[in-house]
């Protein structure tokens, strides 16, 4: 199911954050959102999911405008994985992932719902933590739980905000492999906000570079050139091919460039 974004705009009060954003995410493809902190990546994901109501433009899923969908139908079609969240109530890993099945069948889980959760927990290598309170897990484990909650509902669109930010190197690759496999096998339109250019070049079918709330460039990973990286991030970079993959080595701030915010700051 295709996700279409047409002339999307959003502002916090009088401060524009997104302006004239046009993007398409196709079924079975992963679209990477790249850009420095403050460029609007997180805000864009939240606007697609109606956490923020856009000030202009349209967002459509399978030809249906999201503002015309009920909250339940929207939850069925779009799965969202935030960078972080605070739960008001204690819940186990099983209970939290099970929440992802509720838009499909309501508050009384079926045997199929429970089986789907158990399968997802196994895929995420969280079996040893099934009955553990999510609040007691590490940041990386909590992120995997949030991913499982989104995937278990079989959404048509998957929105991921820095899904590997709290993971070590091995688990970054494991989680990205899982995301890409799910997107391909389930014909999901995936959109992932990332900071790691090499992960984006390795896993994303297409990337969109955001700068000051606008799309600077969009296309395959080959748009990640020294020129675009300099223009968007203000750093010099060398781009090479290594074992058939694009490898990006950042070197230093570009002459006259002002270094961006510290990595990990809010987008």
Task: Report the distance separating Cα 95 and Cα 154, nearest Å.
Answer: 17
Residues 6+ apart with CB under 8 A from 98: 109, 113, 114, 117, 152
Q: What is the pLDDT at residue 2?
A: 94
Inform me whether the pLDDT recorded for 86 exceeds 80: no
What pLDDT does residue 151 have? 94
Look at residue 107 and tell me whether its pLDDT is greater than 80: no
Pairing of strands 214-219, 206-211: antiparallel
Q: Taking residues 20-40, report their average pLDDT.
A: 96
Location of structure tokens 């089986």:
115
Give the pLDDT confidence score for residue 256 in this predicted structure: 58
How much is the pLDDT for 1? 84
The answer, yes or no, to whether residue 56 has pLDDT greater than 70, is yes
What's the chain's average pLDDT?
90
Q: Which CATH architecture has domain 3-224?
A: 3-Layer(aba) Sandwich (3.40)
Q: How confident is the model at residue 194 (pLDDT cuts 50, 70, 90)?
A: very high
Residue range(s) of every CATH 3.40.50.300 domain in the chain: 3-224
Identify any residues that bridge with 250 across adjacent strands, giving them in sequence order: 237
Q: What is the pLDDT of residue 214?
A: 95
pLDDT of residue 259: 41
- The mean pLDDT of 31-57, rounded to a whole number, is 95
Rg of the chain's alpha carbons, rounded to an integer? 18
User: Torsion angle, CA of 77/81/86/89, rounded to 10 degrees?
Assistant: 50
**What is the predicted pLDDT for the residue at 264?**
34
Percent of the chain with pLDDT over 70: 93
């Amino acid at each position: 199911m295709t996700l279409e974004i047409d002339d999307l705009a959003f502002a916090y009060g009088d401060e524009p954050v997104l302006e004239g954003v046009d993007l398409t995410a196709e079924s079975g493809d992963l679209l990477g959102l790249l850009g420095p902190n403050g460029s609007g990546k997180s805000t864009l994901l939240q606007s697609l999911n109606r956490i923020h109501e856009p000030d202009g433009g349209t967002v459509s899923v399978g030809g249906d405008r999201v503002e015309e969908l009920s909250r339940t139908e929207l939850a069925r079609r779009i799965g969202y994985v935030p960078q972080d969240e605070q739960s008001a109530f204690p819940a186990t890993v099983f209970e939290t992932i099970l929440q992802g099945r509720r838009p499909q069948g309501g508050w009384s889980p079926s045997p199929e719902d429970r089986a789907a959760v158990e399968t997802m927990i196994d895929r995420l290598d969280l079996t040893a933590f099934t009955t553990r309170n999510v609040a007691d897990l590490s940041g990386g484990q909590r992120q995997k739980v949030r991913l499982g909650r989104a995937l278990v509902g079989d959404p048509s669109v998957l929105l991921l905000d820095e899904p590997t930010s709290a993971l070590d190197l091995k688990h970054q690759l494991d989680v990205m492999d899982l995301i890409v496999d799910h997107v391909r096998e389930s014909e999901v339109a995936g959109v992932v906000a990332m900071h790691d250019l090499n992960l984006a070049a390795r896993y994303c079918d297409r990337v969109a570079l955001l700068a000051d709330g606008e799309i600077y460039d969009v296309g395959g990973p080959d748009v990640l050139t020294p020129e675009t990286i300099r223009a968007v991030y203000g750093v010099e970079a060398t781009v090479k091919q290594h074992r058939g993959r694009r490898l990006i080595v950042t070197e230093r701030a570009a002459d006259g460039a002002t270094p961006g915010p510290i990595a990990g700051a809010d987008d």
